[in-house]
Amino acid sequence: MAAIKIKLEKKELEIKKGASGLDILKDNPHDGAIAMKLDGKLVDLTTTLDKSAAIEFVTSKDDEGKEVIKHSAAHIMAQAIKKLYPEAEPTIGPAIDTGFYYDFDNLKIQQEDLPKIEKEMKKIIHDKLPFTRKVVPLKEALEMFKNKYKKEIIKELTDKDVSTYKQGDFVDLCRGPHVPHTGYVKAIKLTKLAGAYWRGDSNNVMLTRVYGVAFASKDELNEYVKLLEEAEKRDHKKIGKQMDLFSFHEEAAGVPFFHPKGSIIYNELLNFIRDEYFKRDYGEVVTPTILKNTMWKQSGHWDHYREDMYFTKIDKQDYGLKPMNCPAAILIYKNSTKSYRQLPLRYADCGFIHRNELSGVLNGLFRVRRFIQDDCHHFVTPDQMGEEIKELIDFVKYVYKDVFDFEFHVELSTKPDKAMGDDKLWEQAEGALGLAMKEVKLPFTINPGDGAFYGPKLDFHIKDALGRSWQCGTIQVDFQMPERFDLNYEGPDGTKHRPVIIHRTIIGSVERFMGVLLEHTAGRLPLWLSPVQVRIMPIADRHLDYAKGVLEELKKQGVRVDMDDRTETIGKKVRDAQLHKVPIMLTLGDKELEAKTLAARTLDGKLKFGIKTADFVNAVKQNIEEKKVSVSF
């Protein structure tokens, strides 16, 4: 048999033509290998090599390897479900960030049925059934699959062949790759059930979606379960209830009703961002909630975003509730002639925007139907673009790192399929974003096809205390809207020029950011964001007058303070304050009354006695002003 040359990392191997990745592994062991890259393309380890090539092994530690495991687990689950519920019809089952899911028609099960399915999956895993790939002509595939959903998918394919994967008696239409056999999936867990429309379209039939997670080791699963428990404890919906921050009501599903304490956090976040606007020479604009459809057509939202919008009628004309603030900022820009001397012009908008999220994906403050974004539209000359983006990245860093102490990473998202404008402008805009990132010396990854419909973007993802990643900020460069709305400025040469728009948010949806902060801190917000900053606890009735005086003084100084003057033990009062995450408790008894001092206790148990009120006020005000992450005296 002929030999071929294989480049494996730094080595050059000579192997028999027709050998597979698994064969190569025998002589060249690679810990945890579960798939490989053949000239850069991810394929099965069982793929046979018939010409010289470069290969790289992919392990379960790699992101791509994790995805292969999750995807193989989805097939295993489908096999198990078909065994237990033969009438169920599999539709599609991808790997997702958090694990995998598979959607079935004709599957009527409850949460209680999941362990039974898990048990069946474990049997399949124990049997180490090989995944075998077979490429078949479309016509043959149509005969192979009786299931109407699979047939619908096959009919839409344009290649002449399609790949299928089989393990045991289960065959699926699948691009692959997969692990060599089911035994590679060492640990699985089914997490939840949900309803999902076929192809996400509410006009279609509602399917049953089963979610799960899968790992290459038991340890990873255990770690995941622990994280889940911790996340469960930190669930912002739970904390929101405990701290009396907000509630949801079926009268307006998907929109939080912020209670007084929640509104404080919400408004403080907005105030913070507005203070930064003042420092950084931004102007705020206040714009309508409802605007005419003719404008949404001009902006491109009608073509690209209509399904996510709500509509109404005024004077028999069609109007849409704004899902974004850009066109309103543009109307203000156009309201008078602009000169290059006025640029950059920055119009920040803290208006409510509405987006028609499906009821199935609504999730506390994380996914809502109405929210405020700390967004801003920067109108700049092409020359100013680079500098403005760099300043913006600096602003983002300041907010994430200096104020909230979050780690973050950056992704550059490029032109999506559903985009407007010509390729040259897209390249120019993508180039500007990439260049700015290089100049500020921040690493970033590329996220192909995930840009906004009007331009590419930098996305900023923060990492919370549980290691979870949240996309918050975004900087988007837009050459399209200035064209569509015929925007101009008068240049130094006295003629008209086209400005560039930079769309951007830093904290993103204020609702969502508040949810992230609540989970990140487990409700122990920094002092400046705490709804109640100080709680006063007189020990006995005879300390009440003194306590009231302290309360008045603190309030006069702008501190959010309340008093627990119930006839309860101090122990009980402290526990209550801890439950409500009050950062500072002042216990006032005989000693304090006599010396006119305060005894303070922080939420993390630090104690300090004999503080003078004035010193306390100064320390608290300084902590608030400097937006410190923790409290100390």
Task: List active site positions.
Answer: 326, 355, 373, 375, 377, 457, 503
> Stretches 29-37, 51-59, 166-174, 252-260: which one binds its own copies (CB under 8 A)?
252-260
Cα–Cα dist 512/368, whole Å: 8
CA distances from 574 to 66, 510, 529, 587 (A): 45, 31, 20, 9
Residues 536-595 that bind its own copies (CB under 8 A): 555, 558
CB 527 within 8 A of CB 533: yes
Binding residues for its own copies restricted to 262-291, rule: CB under 8 A:
262-264, 266-267, 274, 278-279, 283-291
| Nearest Cα to Cα of residue 72 among 93, 86, 43 | 93
CB of 517 to its own copies, least distance (A): 16
Compare residues 215 and 371 and give the one whose CB is closer to its own copies. Answer: 371
Is the CB of 217 or the CB of 339 nearer to its own copies?
A: 339
* Burial classification of residue 78, based on how many CB atoms lie within 10 Å of its CB (0-12 exposed, 13-18 middle, 19 or more buried): buried
455: Cβ–Cβ under 8 A, 6 or more apart, which residues? Answer: 421, 426, 429, 476, 477, 478, 479, 480, 503
**Closer to its own copies at the Cβ: 257 or 609?**
257
Q: Which residue from 10, 11, 26, 249 is in contact with its own copies, where contact means CB under 8 A?
A: 249
- In this structure, what DSSP letter does residue 130 have? B
How many residues sit in the footprint of its own copies (CB under 8 A)? 57
Q: How far is the CB of 270 from its own copies (least distance, A)?
A: 10
Counting contacts by CB under 8 A, is residue 609 touching its own copies?
no
Closest approach, Cβ 328 to its own copies, in A, equals 6
Q: Which is nearer to its own copies, 150 or 322 (CB)?
A: 322
Strand-pairing partners, residue 15, are: 4
Task: Indicate the DSSP class of residue 527.
Answer: G
| 242 versus 469: smaller Cβ distance to its own copies | 242
- Peptide linkage before 177 cis (omega within 30 of 0): yes
Residue 26 vs 249, nearer CB to its own copies: 249
Binding mask 345-384 for its own copies (x = CB under 8 A): --x----x-x-x--x---------xx--------------
Distance CA 599, CA 613 (A): 10
Residue whose CB is less far from its own copies, 250 or 423: 250
Stretch of 209-217, 242-250, 412-420, 520-528 contacting its own copies, by CB under 8 A: 242-250
Is the dihedral angle over the CA atoms 551, 552, 556, 562 positive or is it negative? Answer: positive
| CA proximity to 147, closest of 105, 201, 180 | 105
| Residue 329 C-beta: closest distance to its own copies, Å | 9
Q: Which is nearer to its own copies, 166 or 484 (CB)?
A: 484
The residue (of 370 and 601) whose beta carbon lies closer to its own copies is 370
Report in angstroms how near the CB of residue 391 gets to its own copies at its nearest.
17
Q: Both tokens of residue 406?
A: 């979050």
**Nearest distance from residue 500's CB to its own copies, in Å?**
20
Query: b/e map of 461-479 (b: 16 or more CB within 10 Å)?
Result: bbebeeebebebbbbbbbb
> Is residue 294 a contact point for its own copies (CB under 8 A)?
yes
Collapse the DSSP code of 333 into the 3-class scheme (helix H, G, I; strand E, B; otherwise coil) and give the result: helix
- Sequence-separated (6 or more) residues with CB below 8 Å from residue 456: 412, 413, 414, 415, 426, 429, 430, 433, 476, 477
Q: Is residue 622 close enough to count as binding its own copies by CB under 8 A?
A: no
Q: How far is the CB of 254 from its own copies (least distance, A)?
A: 9
Instruction: For residue 390, count CB atoms less than 10 angstroms from its CB and return exposed for 0-12, middle for 13-18, buried for 19 or more.
Output: middle
Q: Given strand 534-538, what is the order of strands in its sheet?
A: 561-563, 534-538, 584-588, 597-602, 607-612
Q: Considering only residues 304-343, where is the footprint of its own copies by CB under 8 A?
A: 310-315, 319, 321, 327-328, 331-332, 335-336
Q: CA-CA distance, 270 to 291, in Å (whole number)?
A: 24
Minimum distance of its own copies from residue 421's CB (angstroms) = 22
Distance from first CA to last CA of the chain, Å, rounded?
79
Angle between helices 385-397 and 423-439 (to 10 degrees): 50
Q: How far is the CB of 273 from its own copies (least distance, A)?
A: 13
Binding site for its own copies (CB under 8 A): 244, 247, 249-253, 255-264, 266-267, 274, 278-279, 283-292, 294-295, 310-315, 319, 321, 327-328, 331-332, 335-336, 347, 352, 354, 356, 359, 369-370, 555, 558
